[in-house]
Amino acid sequence: MKEIIIIGSGFGGLVTGNLLAQKGHKVTIFESHSMHGGYTAGFYRNGFYFESGTLSFEASSSVFKAMKDIGVYDKIEFVRQKLRFVSENFDGIPDTYENYKNIVYKGFPDDKDKLDAYFSEVDKIDNAFGSPDKPLPFLFSGFPYLLSIIPFIFRGRKLMKVMNEYRDVTLSEFAARFFPEDSQLYRIFRSMGYPDASAYLSAISALLGDYWTVKNGMQSWADVLADNFIALGGEIKLNAYVDGIITNNGKAVGVSCNGKKYNADYVVSACDYKKTLLKLLDDKKLIPLDMQKKVENAPVSEGFFTVYLGLGMSNEDLSKYIKTPHVSLHDEQPGCDIYNSCDEEFFNKTSLTLYSPSMVNPKHAPSGKSSLMLQTLVPYKWMQNWGNGDRKKYKELKAKATEAIIGKASKLIPDLKNYIEYCDSATPLTYERFTHNTDGASSSWSWNPKKKFYEGGFMTIKVDTPVKNLYIGSCWAMQIGGIPGALAAAYSCAKKIK
């Protein structure tokens, strides 16, 4: 039995904790916040429930296998999520890739030739990656692992050809091959996900056919994982900010928290990679200077600005306007630039998503009312990082952004302002305060293939660090992070700690 300390109780930390506790290790999770969950969490305000970060997830076969491995699958009610796509030219709720294409073609009949060329290439990418109906190989060991990679071997030549062709191509560059850069189609297709993410993300069939959420909210998922971990003998320390990782002879031997030292055979950092090595580690000399610079300079994924609304409108009435709980409103205006941190009018130009937790589960709002989240990615350190520490300026910018986003959502929900009973918003600074993610990163590293931190493919898993017995057990162990990245890290850590 080993003594293991995990820093952070997000999805990666909770899954890692469960897998290690199952093996009989003594595991303690330190969580700086008053609740476990990290981005896979939620909260109530005035009777309205909102998600803290993660709204939905893909790679369901991998997620479901992991929950079965841990023994909690039957305690979580997963439900399929449908997406409504809205733009000036189209409006639809496609459940397949073909339906999505039909909606776009119908909206832009004069651009058929351009769309034919575009979707021809997207089809190649989609076919190369294949169906997402099998768990990813990193969830297996031994002979089952060998069986799990057989589909990838059969698709090997096709997959490698596509990966080599699009390895360093961004969504913007890919869209520009087919559409004028001042066109609406260009703006739509370049913003399929994170800004300038890999062209691989053009293949959205997985998003349309494999998109899930948790009926009782992400916090309920975190609660199930936490309860199971404790039942296995694990301990979660809340309000326990780890201020240092202690090393001895180049090896992690524990952590410090609130002036007290805690010993461990292994330390798993299930949190921000940058802060793990550059802030928490007690001996920076253990990190080669070139790696320190690389970690410090590596871009992270963009942060979100989120508006939380409690509405005096029933779910039935809200559904008449937004139709599905999750809506992607392609409303990006000319001149919108995610890289321009000085554009005070950014929020009047950007697209946004709408998400209603209470349409997924009516219990997430008081009777006869509904909850709604409005969300968009924002430039790094917008407007001198939201006022350069000036509290008054921060509130002014936050209010300006909130008003603009509500105004955009009013295009789908007329008179939205008149229904608002509760309103608050979160900036990247809010997310950084609660998760300690650098710049409020909403995932991990940048999704731009030209700004990679990890060498190799975007699904490469790296939990090792230059410090012996210190591992990365969060989504930061993979370039594009997310739920799959956190799962990959958790299983990799569990395999390494015998």
In the predicted structure, residue 374 carries a pLDDT above the cut 70 = yes
Per-residue pLDDT, 386? 97
Using 50, 70 and 90 to split pLDDT, how confident is the model at 66?
very high
pLDDT of residue 458: 65
How do 326-329 and 83-86 pair as beta strands? parallel
| pLDDT of 115 higher than 70 | yes
Name the maximum alpha-carbon separation found in the chain.
68
Q: Is the pLDDT of residue 197 over 80?
A: yes
Which CATH number is 3-79+215-299+443-496 given? Answer: 3.50.50.60
Question: Mind listing the pLDDT tens digit for each residue in 199-239?
Answer: 887 778 777 888 999 999 999 999 999 999 999 999 999 99
Domain ranges for the chain, please list them.
3-79+215-299+443-496, 83-210, 302-435
Quote the tokens at residue 188.
């739509």
251-310 pLDDT, tens digit per residue, is 999 999 998 999 999 999 999 999 999 999 999 999 999 999 999 999 999 999 999 999
**pTM here?**
0.95
pLDDT of 72 higher than 80: yes
pLDDT at position 161, please? Answer: 79
pLDDT band of 164, cuts 50, 70, 90: confident
CB atoms within 10 A of CB 159: 17
pLDDT class of 468 with cuts at 50, 70, 90: very high
Average pLDDT for 143-162: 70
pLDDT of residue 490: 97
Mean pLDDT of 432-449: 94
Give the pLDDT mean for 346-350.
96
Q: What distance in Å separates the CA atoms of residue 41 and residue 50, rounded to the nearest whole number?
A: 9
Mean pLDDT across 40-45: 96
* Number of neighbours of residue 115 by Cβ within 10 angstroms: 21
Question: Considering the chain, what is the average pLDDT of its residues?
Answer: 93
